Amino acid sequence: MTTYVDSSALVPVYVPEPFSEGARGAVRVAGQIPFTALHRLEIPNAFELLVGRRLLTRDEGNVIRQQLENDLESHRLLAVALDLDRVFTGATQLSREHTARLLTRSLDVLHVAAAHVVGCSTFVSADDRQLALAEASGLTVVDIKRRRRKR
């Protein structure tokens, strides 16, 4: 596993939106993708937000959640345990070095730190600030909005 896919790029794999094609293509190229505790919280929560905002019905949300579970069972998404002390230490360092300039949010910093802890060299996202942080931290980035690879 060399590619970390942020939640902003993983949700469009399951939910049709403008960048779904780019997200699906990036996931297809990546092969097996690490699925962390951050994803385990954030992705189902995104599905629930869509149900709450009435952009998905409850039944559609359940189908999408089942697709996610199927991808975990088939190991397309590989559940990985994170050393949270290492992730938070790395995130604190990344924040200290880059947040004032890039204006990154805490959860975005945690995902970039998690990518480093898991040992990934490529970071896929739809978030411009997070992509800038990932690139500044030495990762190759793939922007699903543009389907470009930098580094």
Question: What confidence tier does 1 reach under pLDDT thresholds 50, 70, 90?
Answer: confident
Residue 146 banded pLDDT, cuts 50, 70, 90: confident
Question: Does the pLDDT at position 18 exceed 70?
Answer: yes
Residues 106-139 pLDDT 10s:
999 999 999 999 999 999 999 999 999 999 999 9
Q: Is 118 left (phi over 0), alpha (psi -120 to 50) or beta?
A: alpha
Categorize the per-residue pLDDT at 148 as very low, low, confident or very high, splitting at 50, 70 and 90.
very low
Give the strand pairing for 77-79 and 148-150.
Answer: unpaired
pTM of the model: 0.91
- How far, in Å, are 2, 10, 40, 71 from residue 130 at the CA level? 18, 14, 19, 25
What's at 69, amino acid-wise?
Answer: E
* Fold that domain 3-150 belongs to in CATH: Rossmann fold (3.40.50)
On the 0-12 / 13-18 / 19+ scale of CB atoms within 10 A, 25 is middle
**pLDDT number for residue 147:** 60
**How does pLDDT run across 68-120, given as a tens digit for each residue?**
999 999 999 999 999 999 999 999 999 999 999 999 999 999 999 999 999 99
Note the pLDDT of residue 14.
96
Domain spans in the chain, listed from the N-terminal domain onward? 3-150
